[in-house]
């Protein structure tokens, strides 16, 4: 269900808002830690009703954006529509916000810690909210810290995924929503590679940007921005996108 809520949009930017007027059917939406998972991740809430946790789309797969020798400004214009804000409702007047992006038709990715402990969750595109309807795969924050999920938004495009490993010294850029400022761009360089498939970068990753895409200069996703060492810090991290089982969901 799409919900127009300009008041909530402004309030989220200020980080103090009332719970949106959601449809009563959403009051029982479970957090990522409670929902039923598929395949190897099907280890939680085994007795869940499949009719409530499994929603499949018969639509055509989303088209990946073209790649070529373009400026960062040109790439941003092309990639930006596939990036969105993520909101988890933790309780009355309590929200967790982050960023996310599409890898397939209605299939999104963000950090697990963005949605952890949420009672319900949705994505924000422009001024419209779309429910996160099903969790497909996950990894807890102490590991790879990601969630792959289904949404009710039938997006037309998805982001291209890099097939070559990034290198130290390579220029990168990220799109996210620091402090609620939707789809902001930051640039930087790969500084190193750390344990748990972390890519160390000096591009600024602030609160609200977690879960957004990290790109190489071809406009291909190489990682999911995950954490930083404080506001404005040049010591930040992203999870290597190749560590995720994304391939089976691209044409889901």
71 catalytic? Reply is no
Q: Between β-strands 120-125 and 3-4, what pairing exists: parallel, antiparallel or unpaired?
A: unpaired
End-to-end CA distance of the chain: 21
Surface-to-core class of residue 70, CB atoms within 10 Å of its CB (0-12 exposed, 13-18 middle, 19+ buried): middle
Question: Helices marked H in the chain — which ranges?
Answer: 6-14, 50-53, 72-79, 112-115, 247-250
Cα 110 from Cα 198, distance rounded (Å): 15
Q: Say if CB 106 and CB 155 are below 8 A apart.
A: yes
The answer to whether 207 is a known catalytic residue is no
- Of 184, 210, 227, 240, catalytic: 210
In the residue annotation, 64 being an active-site residue is answered as no
Q: Which of 113, 177, 209, 227 is catalytic?
A: 113
Among 131, 145, 206, 240, the active-site one is: 145
Angle at 119 between CA 212 and CA 81, to 5 degrees: 25
- Please say whether the beta carbons of 124 and 49 come within 8 A: no
List residues with catalytic annotation.
113, 145, 210
């Amino acid at each position: 269900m799409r919900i127009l809520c300009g008041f909530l949009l402004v309030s989220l930017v200020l980080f103090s808002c009332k719970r949106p007027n959601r449809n009563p059917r959403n009051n029982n939406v479970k957090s990522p830690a409670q929902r039923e998972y598929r395949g190897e991740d099907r280890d939680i809430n085994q007795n869940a009703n499949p009719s409530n946790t499994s929603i499949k789309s018969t639509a055509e797969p989303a088209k990946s954006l073209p790649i070529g020798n373009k400026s960062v400004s040109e790439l941003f214009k092309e990639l930006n529509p596939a990036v969105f804000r993520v909101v988890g409702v933790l309780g009355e007047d309590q929200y967790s916000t982050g960023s996310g992006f599409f890898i397939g038709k209605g299939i999104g990715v963000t950090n697990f810690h963005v949605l952890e402990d949420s009672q319900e969750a949705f994505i924000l595109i422009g001024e419209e909210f779309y429910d996160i309807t099903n969790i497909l795969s996950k990894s807890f924050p102490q590991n790879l810290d990601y969630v792959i999920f289904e949404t009710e938004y039938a997006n037309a495009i998805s982001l291209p995924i890099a097939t070559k490993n990034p290198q130290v010294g390579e220029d990168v850029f990220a799109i996210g929503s620091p402090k609620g400022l939707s789809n902001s761009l930051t640039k930087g360089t790969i500084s190193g590679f750390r344990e748990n498939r972390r890519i160390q970068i000096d591009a600024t990753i602030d609160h609200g940007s977690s879960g957004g895409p990290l790109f190489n200069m071809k406009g291909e996703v190489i990682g999911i921005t995950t954490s930083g060492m404080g506001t404005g810090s040049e010591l930040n991290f992203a999870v290597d996108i190749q560590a995720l089982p994304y391939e089976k969901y691209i044409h889901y």
